[in-house]
Amino acid sequence: MVACRLRYPLALTVAGLTLLAVFLASPRADADTATHAFPIRGSHSYGSELSRYGYARGRLHRGQDMAAASGTPLVAVTGGRVSYRQYQGGGAGYYVVIQGDDGRDSVYMHLQSAAFVAPGQRVRKGQVVGRVGSTGSSTGPHLHFERWSAHWYDGGSAYDPLAALKSWDVPLRPSGLTARPGSDRVSLDWADNPPEGDLAGYRIYRRTADTGYVRIASTGASAYVDRAASRNTNYDYRLKAVDRLSNLSGYSNSASPSAEAAPTAYAQTVDNADPERFFASASWSRSTWNTQRRGADYRYARPGAASDSARFRLRVPRTGRYEVYVWHPSGSAYSAAAPIGVRTTEGMRWRRIDQRTGGGRWISLGVHPLAAGDRESVFVSRSTSAPGYLIADAVRIVER
Ligand SMILES: [Zn+2]
């Protein structure tokens, strides 16, 4: 068991009554992870009773000893200002004292080398200030950590920091949880917590419409498959990170496979401006005049004897039913019966669209069976006896 045997430069006599007063005057206002961080960024242990704050072997041990590997980063528990950085060969070794913005001093002893921060320097909560070592009077690498009600040997009194330490000693709240439904399972994924700290894994919680969150599993990985999910139940999931001391983080975001269950329907929009997906002869002129156009411009052509279609090439990811839409600007000089064809698995399906009205929005041509593939699928033909310009602007398909 590591422990420190410290001789302090300043003697401090602490009567029992004073100790009691200090205890009563040490509210756990600092037990807040929003404002305070655990001082060791890495695996650690609190050790035995000998590591505790209090009288042992006839003297007051003013701090908590925590064992950790040599070189483990030590961080400021709260924002503050460095007041001492010194070396004491027969006692504290390399040590640093930080005056916290919370009005309390924190003291770190037995650092591997001189602290990284100098007296007078501001530090942020979580800023690395040194590394765990075993300098001074120490039997192994550990941090001797003190908390003082005010300034160190200057108006303040040391108090037992263990409750605050344990309240700060929690893993980071996991994030990025997603839930993906399968036919007989739900697959969960989340972002890995940073490797520092003594993270042991994650606990997974699930609820239904009828129950609160119930822990269903633990895992050391950052993914989990819930094979006990039944198909017709809506679940919410969330998780907590847990460390080797069984400290739990706060809850992650929650994720629900039902909310994401409808796999996003495939949709594709093709504008006449796309040279890879729109094709028309030179008889189809370009215009930007009508403000109901979609995109930068549209194409227009006079009716003719030949089809000479403007063609939209669509990618259909899988054979199935798709709603097909067209977009055109409208105007009184446009066609009253523009022939628009859709290539379906059952052949071409033609409809005549009045382009004099209804412009500037998607107009459905109905739901059609389309075959998987990437091909010219929607056609605007010039072959019509109706007067007025034929317009080709944009098409859209949405999987149904
Ligand atoms: Zn100690």
Q: Report d(CA 144, CA 92) in Å as an integer.
A: 8
How many other C-beta atoms can be found within 10 angstroms of the C-beta atom of residue 316? 19
* Dist. CA 398–CA 21, nearest whole Å: 73
Going from the Cα of 63 to the center of ligand 1, the distance in angstroms, rounded, reads 5
Cβ–Cβ under 8 Å, residues 216 and 226? yes
pLDDT at 374: 94
- Quote the pLDDT of residue 264: 60
Residue 89: its pLDDT value, please? 92
Q: Are 329 and 292 in contact (CB under 8 A)?
A: yes
SS3 42: coil
Ligand 1 center to residue 114 CA distance, Å? 18
- Domains (ranges, CATH) in the chain? 16-168 (2.70.70.10), 178-261 (2.60.40.10), 267-399 (2.60.120.260)
How many angstroms separate the alpha carbon of residue 110 from the centre of ligand 1?
Answer: 9
CA–centroid distance, 25 to ligand 1, in Å, is 22
Tell how far the Cα of 4 is from the centroid of ligand 1, in angstroms. Answer: 4
| Strand (E) or helix (H) holding 167 | helix 162-168
In sequence order, what DSSP letters do the residues of 68-123 get, joined into one string? --TT-EEE-SSSEEEEEEEEETTTTEEEEEEEETTS-EEEEEEESSS-SS-TT-EE
| For the ranges 175-184, 193-202, 218-227, 306-315, the one whose mean pLDDT is highest | 306-315
- In angstroms, what is the span from residue 66 Cα to ligand 1's centroid? 8
The Cα angle at residue 251 between residues 245 and 255, in degrees rounded to 5: 135
The CA distance from 33 to 243, in Å, is: 15
Backbone angles phi, psi at 84, to 5 degrees: -140, 140
Whole-number Å distance, alpha carbon 295 to ligand 1 midpoint, is 71
Cα 143 to ligand 1 centroid, rounded to whole Å = 7
Lowest-confidence segment of 24-28, 301-305, 351-355, 379-383 by average pLDDT? 24-28
Ligand 1 centroid distance, CA of 43 (Å): 18
pLDDT per residue over 240-274, tens digit each? 999 877 888 889 989 988 644 445 668 888 999 99
Q: Does the pLDDT at position 329 exceed 60?
A: yes
pLDDT of residue 3: 54
E-strand ranges in 320-393 read 320-327, 338-344, 347-353, 362-370, 373-380, 390-392
| 16 Cα–ligand 1 center, Å | 20
Q: How far is the CA of 46 from the centre of ligand 1 (A)?
A: 11
352: its two tokens: 């005549």
Among 288, 312, 283, smallest CA distance to 382 is for: 283
Q: How far is the CA of 296 from the centre of ligand 1 (A)?
A: 73
Q: For residue 263, give the DSSP letter.
A: P
Find out whether 168 and 38 touch, Cβ atoms under 8 Å: yes
Tell me how far apart the alpha carbons of residues 175 and 191 are, in angstroms, rounded to a whole number: 6
Strand partners, 109: 144
Distance 29 CA to ligand 1 centre (A): 23
Q: What is the pTM of this model?
A: 0.51
Q: CA–CA distance from 22 to each of 19, 55, 56 (Å)? A: 5, 15, 18
Distance 64 CA to ligand 1 centre (A): 6
Span from the CA of 92 to the centroid of ligand 1 (angstroms): 9
Q: How far lies 311's CA from each of 270, 272, 343, 350, 359, in Å?
A: 10, 9, 11, 14, 19
Q: How far is the CA of 112 from the centre of ligand 1 (A)?
A: 15
Please give the distance, rounded to the nearest whole angstrom, from the Cα atom of residue 140 to the centre of ligand 1: 11
CA-to-CA distance for 327 and 304, rounded, in angstroms? 22
Which candidate, 249, 209, 200, 206, places its Cα nearest to that of 226? Answer: 206
CA of residue 161 to ligand 1 center, whole Å = 12
Q: Compare 47 and 274 and report the one with higher pLDDT.
A: 274
172 CA → ligand 1 middle, Å: 27
Ligand 1 center from residue 61 Cα (angstroms): 6
Coil/strand/helix, residue 396: strand
- Provide the pLDDT for residue 171: 82
